[in-house]
Structure 1
């Protein structure tokens, strides 16, 4: 399921839902879990109520479900899986009322963002620069569009957080696909960039399965 689709579903679902393996009320954190880097975005008015997005950042080893998904994804494209990196969780909280039954309702969902490090062919330096230039040209409008769906794009001081390409540009990631770009806390974004080469090289810990829930909410 795509990230934008997860939000659409949330607006119409009641109770507790799970869009991609990290449950609403969720399982108990795994032993040794540590607090995640966390960012709460402002409440956003949506049809029937309002929604708040909370961002939790890794990176963590992929849980079994995500690793299996990556194996299928790489194989479907004729590639071999080298590693898997669980980048973040998006937590959505919705509150409002149902049209058919006007009573207060709350709902919640979490969506896991992970990257499959398949043995993709690397783009040339010229093509990578062209992809980055395309992103830079669309960056401001992209942030505005993202803010309308999920809440204000985060900032550190007066500087917007960088946009992280889940499938990186060097390995053919779409520079402006809404499902391929997430806001990343600046220090976390540096870690992502530092660890991607190890993931593509099939190095530990990204080549092995991690716990189901490696972090706590606080």
Structure 2
């Protein structure tokens, strides 16, 4: 699950509907981290977006959220992948004084027992045709689409195309380092098969800043 984000939304309240990573047991460093530039907000402040990448086992809170989501759609939960955390840091002025605020959004995927689609290649073509425009829209909100070694990072479909994920929805694609993307892609079939790696409850905070 991912909420539709914008620099404005991050500055305002960091979208409570997605939930924020709770403070508790902290794990090792994230597998990768991206820090965007400071982006101006309409209130005259600036917001900086950081993304911490897993994947990790879901915490108890995210597992319960996935259980409710799958049940609400008439499906059973097979597993849960915590893909990343998006952290927003806002700086500006409030009541004529310097002020700071921030929070985190957990990006998770619920492996409900969805049926597979018959023509994934057609969905991939839709994404390939829309990819440049998607990257441009991302750049307007968060800064340039991430790159490594001169190559754009892949766009990772949070709800995978094989199980009915939308190929071009702005709330379903996250830039991801290629090596992390490969690990995440390997995790999805494991998660849908009920592998214990993704059906075991993880810690509340699986990485350190």
Q: TM-score, normalised by structure 2?
A: 0.92
Matches within 5 A, 1:82-121: 82-98=78-94, 101-121=95-115
Counterpart in the other structure of 1:43: 38
Structure 1 gaps of 5+ residues are none
1:155 aligns with 2:155: no
- Whole-angstrom distance in 1 between the partners of 2:18 and 2:68: 19
Matches within 5 A, 1:1-218: 3-5=3-5, 7-13=7-13, 20-23=19-22, 27-30=23-26, 33-36=27-30, 37-47=32-42, 48-98=44-94, 101-124=95-118, 127-217=119-209
Structure 1 residue 10, shift from structure 2 partner: 3.3
- Whole-angstrom distance in 2 between the partners of 1:49 and 1:73: 35
Three-state SS of the structure 2 residue aligned to 1:117 is strand
Q: TM-score, normalised by structure 1?
A: 0.88
1:64-103 deviations in Å (ceiling 9; x for gaps): 11100111111111111000000000010111123xx222
Structure 1 residue 153, shift from structure 2 partner: 1.2
Structure 1 residue 151, shift from structure 2 partner: 2.3
Q: 1:13 to 1:134 in 2, by over 3 A?
A: closer
Contact kept? 2:85, 2:105, Cα under 8 Å: yes
Three-state SS of the structure 2 residue aligned to 1:215 is coil
- Whole-angstrom distance in 2 between the partners of 1:156 and 1:91: 21
Contact kept? 1:19, 1:109, Cα under 8 Å: no
Runs of 4+ in 1 over 6 A off after TM superposition: none
Structure 1 residue 3, shift from structure 2 partner: 2.7
Aligned Cα root-mean-square deviation (Å): 2.0
Q: 1:181 to 1:107 in 2, by over 3 A?
A: same
